[in-house]
Amino acid sequence: MKSVVVKLQDYIDKSSETEKGIIEYLLRNPESVVESNIYQLSEKTFSSPSTIIRLCKKIGFKGYKDLLHSLLYELAIRKSADEERLKSIHKEDSLEKIIKKVTLKSVSSLEKTEKLIDIKELEDCVEILEKSRNICLFGVGASLLVAKDAYLKFLRINKSCCINDDFHAQLLQSINMEKNDVAIIISYSGFTEEMIKCANIVKKIGAPIIAITRSEESPIAKIADYKLLVAATEHVFREGAISSRIAQLNIIDILYIAFVNRNYDSNMKQFNKTHIQKPNLNLR
């Protein structure tokens, strides 16, 4: 979904002179606008309430209140992003500060991701996994580590699954999938070219795709049949996948435990069967 600012910028060239005045005021003074009612805005822009309402509808809103609600949300997101930038690691940070910043960012990422989880979407994902012949996992870079974690988890309960380190092997993996398989594609940005290629191949085959990503508007999310979103707490160009990786691992944990819970008794037996006894090292 396009932001209020983008919608206004897209429409400005087609707008009338009066509408242009309203748009320019909205773009220059968003903080002031969210505190103004329609009559106050009409006075400030030398327009009428009816003109403002028509403009709101032309750019996809139900009315002025709907636009205000979206703008308020957008400003809150922008403020949150600014606060996240302040949490970035700086050269002069002490070890104590680094510990606090990294921990807070990870906790924040988990809390925000929890709020993004759609219960119905999660239920559908679990059902698809349960019915599938094989789970095919995809990821590169830090997302590959998350995919490997998922592989080990499902292997533990004897659910057929596969993952390959090499991208070309992942391409072959996607080509060899069947309709009764399921793909779990992990990409924080949702713009990873290698993952988009794999997703398009799986789509043509007709196998369901579960995407674990940060945005519903990303290419991978648009290709996928199901989306499990992680909080966008890191910039796409970032110092390293830290809080994003933790959020992705959390989604995998939730998906896995929900899957295990579907057939709790049989999976508990499988846990006991696959338990690897560690040597008792009595160190003195």
Choose the weakest-confidence range: 108-122, 128-142, 238-252, 265-279.
Answer: 238-252
Residues 129-158 have a mean pLDDT of 96
Domain 4-84 bears CATH identifier 1.10.10.10: yes
Cα–Cα distance, 215 to 227 (Å, whole number): 9
pTM beyond 0.75: no
Residues 187-197 have a mean pLDDT of 93
Cα–Cα distance, 67 to 34 (Å, whole number): 9
Cα–Cα distance, 33 to 41 (Å, whole number): 7
Q: Where are the domains of the chain?
A: 4-84, 113-274
Q: Predicted confidence band at 83 (pLDDT cuts at 50, 70, 90)?
A: low
Looking at residue 282, its pLDDT comes to 63
User: Does residue 193 carry a pLDDT above 60?
Assistant: yes
Cα–Cα distance, 8 to 26 (Å, whole number): 8
User: Does residue 84 carry a pLDDT above 70?
Assistant: no
Matching fold, domains 4-84 and 113-274: no
Structure tokens at 98: 């680094």
Domain 113-274: CATH superfamily is: Glucose-6-phosphate isomerase like protein; domain 1 (3.40.50.10490)
Looking at residue 103, its pLDDT comes to 78
